[in-house]
A and B are shown apart, each in its own frame.
Chain A
Amino acid sequence: MAETVAVYAVPHTPSFVEEARRNGERSQTAQFFSTIRSHLEDAKPDVIVTVNNDHFNTFFFDKWPTLAIGIGEQTAGPNDQTPGMPWYDLTIEASAARHILRSLVEDGFDLTSSVDLELDHGALVPLHFMTPTMALPIVPIFVNCVVPPLPSASRCHAFGGAIADAIRNWNSPARVAVITSGSLSLEIGGPRVDVNKTFGVPDPDWAAWILERIRLCEHERLIAAASEARMLDAGNVAGELLNWIVALGIVGTVPPTILIDQPELGNAFAAWGSQGAGA
């Protein structure tokens, strides 16, 4: 049976790519991702499951899923012209994707599935930094974190548990890493952005409080507090916390082995090893 060997929760800020290219090793983001990448390389995964939200690029309002999965053989991106990012062609581990889809539906999570999709920065910024050769096959999973009504935090936590079960029950010797991504407090383009910037961090205290709950394994307290209204108070894309909560559902009540705060950007980087990966 397959094994979840590592779980990550990282940002997917699209400007990171160009900033890291411009500043090289001086880039704080590149340094943080380098730490996470080393952890991933030590975990030696065969397959990566990505969990993130789309930003109106893979899906649009004509068909907007709450939960979705890509189950085709191939995908590519970024389909949103992420500045500085090359075009990547990726393999989807279709047998895993179809198994995970079936397992999740059997567990009561009725995902939308797609055999023909491209990816935006939400999935690809973490992969760009963590697996730049894009040699590993992926299974892309999507959670609606930006268009109300959002799925509840408790539902996303249970979704993470169901993903962990699906991986555990996959009849394969594969080593699986899960990369979830999103920001904790972030406003994009809205009234709460900083002067002459495209973004703002409306509620850094909320982001810090979240990280403390994660550090102390107080997941239930975090889930109880993370209502849709509370998350969106922290920014118009701060519902991306739900991707982090999926990660918590996968790992269980285990503290991360790495937890790096990036408060000025409303971001953080977290890693869990195999002891906190659905074990």
Chain B
Amino acid sequence: MNIYLIHTLCRRVLHDRDFRRFILEAPEEAVSSMPFSEDERSALLSGDVARLYREGALAFLLLILSRFEVFGLELPIFNRRMRTGSSN
């Protein structure tokens, strides 16, 4: 996985208000605007933060997705997936 690109997306959610609005309104289009592989794109859109973490993404940056509830990652969902390693 291109972890640098995953990290870049997380950072853009925090720092780029237009991109944040875009990803909240149209997540598939927003993810497609960056050069992710189909595997990376699938993991992101399904909010599979446990897998992204296992692949090397930093929890600190992944938490930004929960802060703004991107990909449906409300805190209880994000928290459960990170704590249990589950994709569900």
The interface of chain A, by Cβ under 8 A from chain B, is: 55-57, 60-61, 79-81, 146-147, 187-193, 195-198, 236-237
Contact = CB atoms under 8 A, between A and B. Distances in A.
Contacts of B83: 191-193, 195
Nearest to A189: B63
B79 A55 contact: no
B79 A195 contact: yes
Interface string B54-72: 0000111111001000000
Report, as a range, how many residues of chain B touch the other chain: 20 to 34
B82 A189 contact: yes
A79 B11 CA distance: 11
Interface of B: 4, 7-8, 11, 14-15, 53, 58-63, 66, 75-76, 78-79, 82-83, 85
Contact of B14 (A80, A189, A237): A80
B11 A189 contact: no
Given A55-B60, A56-B61, A195-B79, A190 B53 contact: yes
A191 B60 contact: no
20 contacts: A55-B60, A56-B61, A57-B15, A61-B4, A61-B7, A80-B15, A147-B58, A188-B59, A189-B60, A189-B82, A190-B59, A191-B53, A191-B82, A193-B79, A193-B82, A195-B79, A195-B83, A196-B79, A198-B75, A237-B60
A193 B15 CA distance: 24
A197 B79 contact: yes
- Looking at A56, A195, A236, the one whose CB has the most chain B CB atoms below 10 A away is A56
Contacts of A192: 83
A87 B49 CA distance: 31
A146 B75 contact: no
Contacts of B53: 190-191
Contacts of B75: 196, 198
Q: 8 nearest interchain CB pairs?
A: A189-B63, A190-B59, A189-B59, A188-B60, A196-B79, A196-B76, A191-B82, A189-B60
Contacts of B66: 189, 198
Given A61-B4, A191-B53, A196-B75, 14 more contacts: A57-B15, A60-B7, A146-B60, A187-B59, A188-B60, A189-B60, A189-B78, A189-B82, A190-B59, A191-B82, A195-B79, A198-B63, A198-B66, A198-B79
Nearest to A195: B79
Contacts of B4: 61
A196 B78 CA distance: 9
Contact of B62 (A60, A81, A147, A189): A189
Contacts of B79: 193, 195-198
A196 B60 CA distance: 15
Contacts of A81: 14
Contacts of B8: 60
B49 to A, nearest CB: 9
A252 to B, nearest CB: 33
B60 A56 contact: yes
A190 B14 contact: no
A195 B83 CA distance: 8
Nearest to B68: A81
Nearest to A192: B83
Contacts of B14: 57, 80-81
- Looking at B11, B76, B79, the one whose CB has the most chain A CB atoms below 10 A away is B79
B78 to A, nearest CB: 8
Nearest to B76: A196
